[in-house]
Amino acid sequence: MKKKFFWRILLISLTTLLSVIFFLPSTQLFLSMPGWLKKIIPEKGITLGLDLQGGLHLVFEVEGDKAVDLTLERIAVSLKDLLDKKGFKADVKKDGSNIIVSSSDIKARKVIEDNYPALSLSDSSEGKAVYKIPAKEADRIKENAVEQAAETIRNRIDQFGVAEPTIQRQGANEIVVQLPGVKDTQRAVDIIGKTALLEFKLLDEEGIAAQIPETILPDEEEKLMQEFSAKIPEGDEILFERITNKETGKVTKKVYLVKKQTLMTGDSLTEAKVNIDTRLGNEPYVSISFNDVGAKLFEDITAANVKKRLAIILDNNVYSAPVIQEKIAGGNAQISGRFSIDDAKDLAIVLRSGSLPAPLKMLQNVTVGPSLGRDSINAGVKAGIIGSLLVILFMIFYYRFSGLIADVALMLNIIMLLGALSILNATLTLPGIAGIILAIGMAVDSNVLMFERIRDELRLGKTPRAAVDSGYDKAFWTIFDSHITTLITAAVLFQFGTGPIKGFAVTLSMGVAINLYTALIGTKLVFDLINNKKEVKKLSI
């Protein structure tokens, strides 16, 4: 019997101690603890959700039509390369939602149909063939764009270092992003919203290029475009590099005349990391690497364009346009652009996480202040203390010493639940707190059920030990059934619910499971210890 008690006491003590240890990092006490102790205790604890600690709530719309448009552009470029390799002389260009191939050669059409089965021929006359993407295929591209955008955002947020973000789809083409604890909202929005389309294009430094001013002020961009829109060659475009003077803070825009033809994109990028160039006064830059295919293409491009300037463009913004001094082999390049260290880090993040399949349109940008969270926490703590005190007093008043045992079990329940949430590094939200309170209510209810069964047995004239054993046996299945049905409900809520509902389901299910443990093992252990020490003639219940 003593051995049986020993293991039960050890189990209860161990789980309580571990719960306290894991919960410590979530308290202010952890900050004042000595360093050697902090190294022993796991640092992760409970993370407060957006509604408790403030943060950023964003809603984006994925521009699906643009995804279809970009797909058409990529197909037109690769189709042109394919026909050239097969020896067909044909011009390929994208015109609106169509791809026009200036060839009526049946063999060329056969090549197109074999390699691009998703395209449908909509017109073939006057020596040209017009292809388009069918509506069903366009819908599939839009659907994939939303899924891919959500995944790309998730990757960027993970690298940005936000704990427990919420990224979920809403409706057909919207994505909701919640970032608890984020204070630099503009930086977070910039990282998420960048399309990150990396392109390498040659500069056109002949003809009209000499007439274009080297730099302009930001508000002169529209005027410049109007002045030169009719003068620049058909295959060229004007792009800008934003330059901020570090000493004065003055912003100017450097003007580039760039050939529209994209020589290479960032599809073959394998790595992007921040390095420091000590030769330029510790200037940060982003070092990028390509896979084997990209490395060979980059080598060919640089070999064929020595002494020309190659613009590195991200989302239509020029970051740098160095002169190619020699063929660059090895698949490595660098993007320098007078970055701050944070700018360089953010650029590396968006390049590593890949391009968005389509631009994002921001529909909602709400910053949740921490004061609302503090008010919620204070109100919750106040309500919890008052509620707990009332329950504790009632249990002692109504069940005397047995009520005190139930109160101790209730405290253990709360400690273990907080410890379990800390182990999982769970995010606590207001619905999560509601789940905890409901679980505590069920814990009290379990003890009431058991105590009433014990009272019934005592009224039948049984001894306290027999009444306790019989009372627990009879109440067990009632408590077990009610907890199992609650767990099933919580599982359904978790499976089909969204963020806050999932949080409620998690805390409720964990609280119910721990309640079974403390109510059926913890309190029973105390009664067994009391009854085992001496022959108890009267039970205080």
Which residues, at least 6 apart from 19, have a Cβ–Cβ distance to it below 8 Å? 415, 416, 418, 419, 420, 422
d(C-alpha 152, C-alpha 354), whole Å: 7
- 79: its two tokens: 């189709």
Q: What is the pTM of this model?
A: 0.60
DSSP one-letter string for 412-437: HHHHHHHHHHHHTTPEE-HHHHHHHH
Question: pLDDT value at position 534?
Answer: 64
Question: pLDDT value at position 498?
Answer: 67
Q: For residues 258 and 318, is the Cβ–Cβ distance under 8 A?
A: yes
Could you count the other beta carbons within 10 Å of the beta carbon of residue 493? 20
Which residues, at least 6 apart from 332, have a Cβ–Cβ distance to it below 8 Å? 287, 288, 289, 290
Could you count the other beta carbons within 10 Å of the beta carbon of residue 434? 16
Question: pLDDT value at position 386?
Answer: 84
Question: pLDDT value at position 535?
Answer: 67
d(C-alpha 243, C-alpha 337), whole Å: 8
* Rg of the chain taking only CA atoms, in angstroms: 34
d(C-alpha 302, C-alpha 316), whole Å: 21
Question: pLDDT value at position 533?
Answer: 67
Q: Beta 283-290 vs 166-170: how paired, if at all?
A: unpaired
Question: pLDDT value at position 203?
Answer: 92
Report residue 111 CA to chain centroid gap.
Answer: 42
Q: For residues 522 and 385, is the Cβ–Cβ distance under 8 A?
A: no
Torsion, Cα 352 357 359 363, to 10 degrees, reads: -100
Q: Beta 47-48 vs 427-428: how paired, if at all?
A: parallel
Q: Which of 13, 33, 3 is nearest to 416 (CA)?
A: 13
Question: pLDDT value at position 257?
Answer: 93
Residue 428: left if φ>0, alpha if ψ -120 to 50, beta else—which one?
A: beta
Q: For residues 458 and 541, is the Cβ–Cβ distance under 8 A?
A: yes
DSSP one-letter string for 37-99: HHHHS-S--PEE-HHHH-EEEEEEEE-HHHHHHHHHHHHHHHHHHHHHHTT----EEEETTEE
Looking up tokens 């609650």 gives: 486
d(C-alpha 180, C-alpha 372), whole Å: 13
Question: pLDDT value at position 163?
Answer: 66
- In this prediction, the residues of the chain whose per-residue pLDDT falls under 50 are none
pLDDT in tens, 81-137: 788 878 887 788 877 788 888 876 778 888 888 888 888 888 877 778 888 888 888
E-strand stretches of 158-309: 166-170, 174-180, 198-202, 215-216, 236-244, 251-259, 264-265, 269-277, 283-290
Could you count the other beta carbons within 10 Å of the beta carbon of residue 246? 9
Question: pLDDT value at position 255?
Answer: 92
pLDDT in tens, 276-312: 877 766 778 888 888 888 888 888 888 888 889 988 8
Question: pLDDT value at position 280?
Answer: 64
Question: pLDDT value at position 371?
Answer: 60
The CB-side HSE value for 346 (13 A sphere, CA atoms) comes to 18
Question: pLDDT value at position 278?
Answer: 75
Which residues, at least 6 apart from 211, have a Cβ–Cβ distance to it below 8 Å? 228, 231
pLDDT in tens, 228-276: 888 888 778 899 988 877 777 788 889 999 988 778 877 778 888 888 8
The β-bridge partners of 94 are: 99
